[in-house]
Amino acid sequence: MTRLTMLHNPTRFKPSPIEDDSDNDDELEFYDFNEPEPGSPPGTLIIDADASIPNIFLIDYNAAEALGVQLATPEDCIPYLDSHSVSWVDVQGLGSEDVLQRLGKVFSLHDLVLEDIVNIPQRPKVESFDDQELIILHMVTSREDGRGFYDEQVSLILGKNYVLTVQEEPENDVFEPIRQRIHRNRGVIRSQRSDYLTYALIDAIVDGFFPVLEDYGERLEDLQDEVVEKPTRQTLDKIHKIKRELLLLRRAIWPQRDAINALIREESPLIDREVRVFLRDCYDHTVQVIDMVETYRELAANLMDIYLSSLSNSTNEVMRFLTVISTVFIPLTFVAGVYGMNFDTEIGNMPELKLPYGYVLCWLGMLGMSGGLLFYFWKKGWLFSPK
């Protein structure tokens, strides 16, 4: 028997500052760190004014059945924490200090743990406690228009029979396939303990980087064609923007490799040896993501070099054309200067001044010199060179 309700809050997702808006000329913003003032006591919580109100969702399952409900208060989690089934409590939103404080009491969270969960963003890390494991990771999802990405912090608390996840925002997470696997009893997730659920969630977070990187791969290909064919000032802005976004991706994924590696190395009674094998697969995926990010950053840097080379070539083409024009007019200027002195004496008179067709012959001579020079430049490849 399986009972599962819709677990998503329809509240509109608030965009993260780490996004790319092609219609917006503003520069991308880095994180606004929610940190207590210097000298504040440990455990001080800083709630962002526009943070979403927390919504608490519970999935309680075992091999026979699964139950999914939305809880009204943090205290409603208590009956499920000591059961023999696995309970996944998903908190979406950080907009209520009261709810978060009560949640900390229900799960016996240390004040510093609650501070790390609420005061975002934190560097991805793993911390071990007597009966809990704190795992802080960054989750990225592609924007609807395929330009840029959302980035939010996800905190996981692994207990003996439960997993607590706390997300910044109510939507755009990567956990829906995990919910469906539990709902439809696919794979072995319903027959495993909470450590396997933790692995599944971490794996979903890491794999969420791949669709984002695919979008950046397509954008880099388009930029490469644009840089080679017709580079503009807007092209340079696009390159700068994509380099900055890739830097943010790099900052998100590099510490997560160390965090996952810490889960593999450190012996914890909450994580079975078999689950560590799966975590090693997560580590491999993380290394693969890092390689892709570094490759794309190198491509972006190469695009900058190609842009500068294309700009320099365009400037050289213009200068070459202007040089040819100047060279053609040098002898014409000489001839015009000589005949522009207008001497009219019987002795030492300028040649051809009294010739009936002197003016026409002068023009024919100048046109002949210009044509000869242009033909010579063309034969040497200095004029109208192939693109």
169-227 residue pLDDT tens: 887 889 999 999 999 999 899 999 999 999 999 999 999 999 999 999 999 998 888 88
Residue 123 belongs to domain with CATH number: 3.30.460.20
223-242 mean pLDDT: 85
Per-residue confidence (pLDDT) for residue 346, from 0 to 100 = 58
Q: How far apart are the first and last CA of the chain?
A: 70
Per-residue confidence (pLDDT) for residue 373, from 0 to 100 = 81
Q: Do the domain assignments include residue 209?
A: yes
- The reply to whether 305 and 329 lie within a common domain is no
- The reply to whether 299 and 327 lie within a common domain is no
- The reply to whether 267 and 342 lie within a common domain is no
Residue 160 reports pLDDT greater than 80: yes
Residue 30 reports pLDDT greater than 60: no
> What would the pLDDT profile of 198-212 be if each residue is shown by its tens digit?
999 999 999 999 999
- The reply to whether 352 and 245 lie within a common domain is no
- The reply to whether 345 and 204 lie within a common domain is no
pLDDT band at 341 (very low <50, low <70, confident <90, very high): low
- The reply to whether 133 and 203 lie within a common domain is yes
Q: Other CB atoms closer than 10 Å to residue 176's CB: what's the count?
A: 11
pLDDT band at 387 (very low <50, low <70, confident <90, very high): very low
Q: Please state the domain count of the chain.
A: 2
Q: Other CB atoms closer than 10 Å to residue 107's CB: what's the count?
A: 19
Compute the residue count for the chain.
387
Q: Do the domain assignments include residue 215?
A: yes
List Cα–Cα distances, 95 to 76, 167, 206, 331, in angstroms: 19, 11, 26, 80
- Cα–Cα nearest to 15, from 208, 141, 150: 150
245-265 mean pLDDT: 92
- The reply to whether 122 and 195 lie within a common domain is yes
What DSSP string describes 41-63? PTT-----TTPPPPEEEEEEE-S
| C-alpha to C-alpha distance for 328 and 310, rounded to whole angstroms | 27
> What would the pLDDT profile of 281-309 be if each residue is shown by its tens digit?
999 999 999 999 999 999 988 888 888 87
Q: Domain range for residue 372?
A: 320-380
- The reply to whether 32 and 80 lie within a common domain is yes
Range of weakest confidence among 49-53, 118-122, 263-267: 49-53
8 A C-beta contact, residue 34 and residue 120:
yes
Q: What average pLDDT does the chain have?
A: 82
- The reply to whether 240 and 345 lie within a common domain is no
pTM of the model: 0.76
Q: Which amino acid is at 62?
A: N
pLDDT, greater one: 53 or 229: 53
- The reply to whether 239 and 375 lie within a common domain is no
Residue 346 belongs to domain with CATH number: 1.20.58
| C-alpha to C-alpha distance for 386 and 371, rounded to whole angstroms | 20
Q: Do the domain assignments include residue 373?
A: yes
Residue 18 reports pLDDT greater than 50: no
Q: Do the domain assignments include residue 387?
A: no
Domain end among 259, 274, 309:
309
**Residue reference for tokens 């939507």:** 171
Q: Do the domain assignments include residue 112?
A: yes
Q: Do the domain assignments include residue 148?
A: yes
> What would the pLDDT profile of 99-156 be if each residue is shown by its tens digit?
999 999 999 998 889 999 988 888 999 999 888 999 999 999 988 776 788 899 999 9
- The reply to whether 293 and 375 lie within a common domain is no
**Residue reference for tokens 């995990």:** 178
- The reply to whether 152 and 240 lie within a common domain is yes
Q: Do the domain assignments include residue 214?
A: yes
16-38 mean pLDDT: 49
Residue 164 reports pLDDT greater than 90: yes
Residue 254 reports pLDDT greater than 80: yes
